[in-house]
Copies of this chain bind each other. A is one copy, B any other.
Amino acid sequence: MTDETLTPERILETAEEVLRRYGLSKTTVVDVARALRVSHGSIYRHFPSKAALQDAIAERWLARKSLPLIAIANEDGPATERLRRWLNLLSSTTRKNVLDDPELFATHKELANSARNVVRTHLDHLVEQITYIIRDGIAQGEFATDDPVVTARAVFAATTLFHDPAHVAAWSDPDLDATFDGVWSLILAGLSPRDIPHA
């Protein structure tokens, strides 16, 4: 690889592979440079420090995870169906990541611990996507809430068990889907406009 063809994207791709192999603490910028057959100076031209490289890897990974969710948030169509599909996709993607490739997941977990600001921004973006769907639902007469942002935060919090990797042990519970349906009923009831009694 020459410095001319060395794009940030190419560095991040290789860096993620190197991280997965050695773990975060043992990986150096020199390891990434070696895997790309460039000098470590070439890497530093794009990423001024290991911390900057880490943050960029985390951003890239989380953006990859967000993309199909953003697509659902931006669709037309009934907000209720989109919110349910969005929550299902968030849960299923996380579970797939954790269970299908435990090695990569371990890398992501280490990254998440060291790139806390990147993760916080990602979580804010997820709540913004829920807010967006809720506002759509209000405009379409499906939902009612005084404060879409607080409600979006509540929806995200109420589904923690299903999308937070901390709960991997709970995901093999045979009642999990029934419990999700139950939580979904609470969410839907909470979002539905109250019937206004006729005088």
Contacts and interface: CB of A to CB of B under 8 A. Distances in A.
A183 B183 CA distance: 10
B195 A154 contact: no
Interface of A: 150-151, 153-155, 157-162, 164, 166-167, 175, 178-183, 185-192, 194-195, 197-198
The 8 A-B pairs with the shortest beta carbon distances in the complex, nearest first, are: A154-B182, A186-B190, A166-B166, A189-B190, A158-B158, A189-B189, A160-B161, A195-B195
Nearest to A188: B190
A179 B157 CA distance: 7
Contact of A179 (B153, B162, B185, B187): B153
Contacts of A158: 157-159, 183, 186
A154 B167 contact: no
A153 B178 contact: yes
Contact of A189 (B182, B186, B195): B186
